[in-house]
């Protein structure tokens, strides 16, 4: 087995199993025995609406997220760490239009009340 080979083996450690995410990276010593585990790859968070990767947020495993500050886990805007800029813009515009509709409804109701008097 060469140094560049990677194989799936059951491991004698906490995380047992033949999962493809828990691969062993074969590293040879003089007795050709030593193996080390590869760390799982982290994925950047994705937008809940558009399913795109969020820019400005680091890709780290959950254990490291606990140690990171809030500034590193989010982007400083509305819906910063969970939605992309397009989804945030859509939601803000939708909320604005809903409020505008409420105002228009109030004005029409007031006009009808003034006509009746």
Domain range list for the chain:
1-40, 42-117
In this predicted structure, what is the pLDDT of residue 46? 97
Give the number of other CB atoms < 10 A from CB of residue 54.
Answer: 20
pTM over 0.85: no
83 class by beta-carbon count within 10 Å (0-12 exposed, 13-18 middle, 19+ buried): buried
From first to last of its 117 residues, the chain has per-residue pLDDT tens of 554 555 555 555 565 555 666 666 666 666 666 666 677 789 999 999 999 999 999 999 999 999 999 999 999 999 999 999 999 999 999 999 999 999 999 999 999 999 987
């Amino acid at each position: 087995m060469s140094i560049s080979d990677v194989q799936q083996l059951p491991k004698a450690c906490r995380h047992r199993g033949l999962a493809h995410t828990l691969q062993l990276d074969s590293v040879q010593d003089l007795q050709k025995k030593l193996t080390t585990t590869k760390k799982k790859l982290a994925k950047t968070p994705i937008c809940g609406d558009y399913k795109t990767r969020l820019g400005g947020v680091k890709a780290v495993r959950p254990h490291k997220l606990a140690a990171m500050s809030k500034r590193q886990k989010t982007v400083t805007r509305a819906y910063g760490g969970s939605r992309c800029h397009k989804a945030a813009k859509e939601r803000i515009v939708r909320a604005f239009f809903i409020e505008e509709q409420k105002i228009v409804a109030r004005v029409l109701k007031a006009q009808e009340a003034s006509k009746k008097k």
